[in-house]
Amino acid sequence: MSCGCEHEHEHDENIPEFAKVGQKVPAFELEAFDPAEGGFCEVDLGVLRAEGKWAILFFYPADFTFVCPTELADLAERHAELVKLGAEVISVSTDTKFTHMAWKNDERLLADVTFKMAADPTGEVSRFFDVWDYDTGLALRGTFVINPEGVLVSSEVNFYNVGRNADELLRKMEANSYLKDHPEQACPAKWTPGGKTLTPGKDLVGKVYEALND
């Protein structure tokens, strides 16, 4: 990571070798193409954290491929809703920022993409999030949600041939956002905003059905 995390990893035992759910993610920086501005920029996780934003990292194998543009187009459809929840959406691949720009300009499926497209050509960030494929030098389809405190709260990794669903990402983001303000509660399966939640404790043991159906 361009913040010098590799150097820090050698000297700070508190920084994990890989990102793990429930643990804090060290701040890092990546160069990116910004479709909204039409130019290049820098993605800085430390700045996002200081601004109190959630970070959604959306790793994919490569530009100018086949499933990837369908995923980014799907993500673009939910981008505005994710932003309303306080999230910065960042797609990441091992391509350069220049390739990102060329792909965005060529591929019609990406017409509505406005989130930043980060470049990880060395694969350092992909390795940290454990999506790096050593056989191909590409990143698997990994989605990671980091809360405003820098803690990784959600992780999903798919192989190359299965595309993701941004509707489920939005649902998980809605749940995590709700739980940030209601940490004593928990969201059951298929929870959506307005649905019943659970409050773990001795009175709930063996009584989940009653809690959800009273």
Q: Are strands 141-146 and 54-59 parallel, antiparallel or unpaired?
A: antiparallel
Which among 3, 5, 41, 68 is annotated as catalytic?
68
- With b for 16 or more beta-carbon neighbours within 10 A and e for fewer, the 123-143 pattern comes to bbbbbbbebbeeeeebbbbbb
CA distance 137 to 133: 6
CB 76 within 8 A of CB 90: no
DSSP string over 70-137: HHHHHHHHHHHHHHHTTEEEEEEESS-HHHHHHHHHH-GGGTT--SEEEE-TT-HHHHHTT-EETTTT
The pair of three-digit structure tokens given for residue 44, joined into one six-digit string = 């800085």
Which residues does residue 116 pair with via DSSP β-bridges, in sequence order?
90
Query: Active site includes 3?
Result: no
**CB of 188 closer than 8 Å to CB of 196:** yes
How many residues does the structure list for the chain? Answer: 214
Catalytic positions: 68
